[in-house]
């Protein structure tokens, strides 16, 4: 199998590439990444000499470049995206360009090259906030931030190319990821690195917003499962059922780092902050996937990684 992975220098993409090269030593992977602030070549320093891995710095909005790179590939997995909700609220322009225009560019290239599969990596945030129950793949999309709106738009584009042009395409929508190599503006690495620096943890609003957390390696295994067993035209939710209010998540991290509760600093809530996400993942489980990592042990692994790799994240927080 020959894969083009876009956005592979980012958090989930780099973990996915490492997972695939380890599990499938005969697969060939090209990593196309623009190396914006969250794309970091150091994330894949340990595999850069692998004969089946190649890195190309480039923009997914450059359709001619993508078509050229796609020539030896039979499948494309699109991780490339602007992803931070707070940044999208301040300025949505990068999100419109990367997440909508970029996806369109990749779809056009994939259509012309007649790829065997286009796999779009999306998010549970496209469903919007749900007061009870769990979101299913057929539920209507009600995004509430510029970020999630841009991802929902990309999902609609992917579906349209499958219906209109018969492009074999699949969408995955995962819950909140955490683990090694996550840029320290996101919640868990921000909390952990702040504590390691002796700083307080900023907690939005009343701290009762609920999220389902998935360790990044479980998500990589799920994407791997969908890549090999998923059906074109389908959407697969990826979650673990580890739903927890933010305040309880913070207290788990404080306990694991042996810090008192006075390290919590409540801050004004952000605009349009979704109250609760939860996913029904029965369709994914029917393909044979199950989570391997429970929340608390995975949090400990993550905390230990940030403790042991301070040179990686300290320069990113300057």
Spatial CB neighbours of 177, under 8 Å, sequence gap ≥ 6: 11, 12, 213, 214, 215, 216, 219
Please name which of 186, 296, 283 lies closest in space to residue 242, comparing C-alpha atoms: 296
Place of tokens 């499938």: 24
Of these residues, 124, 137, 218, 274, which one is catalytic?
124
Cβ atoms of 273 and 209 within 8 Å: the answer is yes
Is 124 a known active-site residue?
yes
**Rounded CA gap, 62 and 166, in Å?**
23
Residue 59 has phi, psi (to 5 degrees) of -105, 130
Is 142 a known active-site residue?
no
* Stretch (H or E) spanning 190: helix 187-196
CA distances from 256 to 123, 261, 297, 301, 313 (A): 28, 12, 10, 10, 19
Spatial CB neighbours of 60, under 8 Å, sequence gap ≥ 6: 6, 7, 32, 34, 66, 78, 80, 98, 102, 103, 105, 106
Is 292 a known active-site residue?
no
Of these residues, 53, 104, 127, 147, which one is catalytic?
147
Of these residues, 33, 125, 137, 212, which one is catalytic?
125
Spatial CB neighbours of 288, under 8 Å, sequence gap ≥ 6: 225, 229
User: What separation, in Å, do the N-terminal and C-terminal C-alpha atoms of the chain show?
Assistant: 40
The residues assigned a catalytic role are 124-125, 147
């Amino acid at each position: 199998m020959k894969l083009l992975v876009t956005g592979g220098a980012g958090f989930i993409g780099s973990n996915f590439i490492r997972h695939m090269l380890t599990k499938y030593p005969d697969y060939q992977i090209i990593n196309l990444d623009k190396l914006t602030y969250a794309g970091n070549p150091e994330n894949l320093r340990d595999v850069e000499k692998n004969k089946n891995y190649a890195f190309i710095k480039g923009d997914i909005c450059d359709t001619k470049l993508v078509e050229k790179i796609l020539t030896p590939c039979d499948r494309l997995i699109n991780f490339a995206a602007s992803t931070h909700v707070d940044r999208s609220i301040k300025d949505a322009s990068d999100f419109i360009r990367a997440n909508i225009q970029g996806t369109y560019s990749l779809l056009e290239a994939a259509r012309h090259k007649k790829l065997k599969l286009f796999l779009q990596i999306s998010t549970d945030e496209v469903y919007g906030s749900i007061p009870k129950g769990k979101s299913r793949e057929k539920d209507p999309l009600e995004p509430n931030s510029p970020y999630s709106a841009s991802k929902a738009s990309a999902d609609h584009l992917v579906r349209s190319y499958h219906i209109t042009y018969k492009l074999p395409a699949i969408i995955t929508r995962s819950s909140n990821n955490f683990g090694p190599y996550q840029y320290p503006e996101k919640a868990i690495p921000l909390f952990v690195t702040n504590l390691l620096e002796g700083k307080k943890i900023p907690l939005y609003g009343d701290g009762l917003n609920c999220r389902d957390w998935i360790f990044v390696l479980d998500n990589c295994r799920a994407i791997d499962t969908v890549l090999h067993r998923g059906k074109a035209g389908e959407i697969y939710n990826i979650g673990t059922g580890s739903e927890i209010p933010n305040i309880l998540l913070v207290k788990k991290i404080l306990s694991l780092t042996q810090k008192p509760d006075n390290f919590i600093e409540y801050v004004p809530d952000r605009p349009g902050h979704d109250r609760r996400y939860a996913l029904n993942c029965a369709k994914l489980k029917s393909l044979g996937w199950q989570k391997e990592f429970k929340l608390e042990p995975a949090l400990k692994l993550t905390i230990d990684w940030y403790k042991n790799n301070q040179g990686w994240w300290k320069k990113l927080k300057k």
